[in-house]
Amino acid sequence: MAKVENDLDIYYAVGNANTQRQENELAAIIKKRNSAGWKLISTSTAIVDTKNQFSNLYLFWEKN
């Protein structure tokens, strides 16, 4: 039976400001994970500051 690993990245304070910076940072996270053999299996968000419209982005990964 194959051993399956799971992991989680939390990207804090995703908001409307600095959109290009955030896109670049997320692309770097995904590229690094993919090159290490991880597969993105799910994402989720949670609002942490409604006044400033900030959310956390959760990236769930799996690796065989």
Q: What residue spans define the domains of the chain?
A: 5-63
Among candidate residues 43, 40, 37, 42, the one with its CA nearest the CA of residue 2: 37
Q: Which residue has the tokens 């989680």?
A: 8
Tell me the C-alpha distance between 36 and 27, whole Å. 14
User: 53 near 13, Cβ under 8 Å?
Assistant: no
Q: Is the pTM of this model over 0.85?
A: no
pLDDT digits (tens), the chain, 64 positions: 678 999 999 888 666 666 788 888 889 999 999 999 999 999 998 988 888 778 888 999 999 8
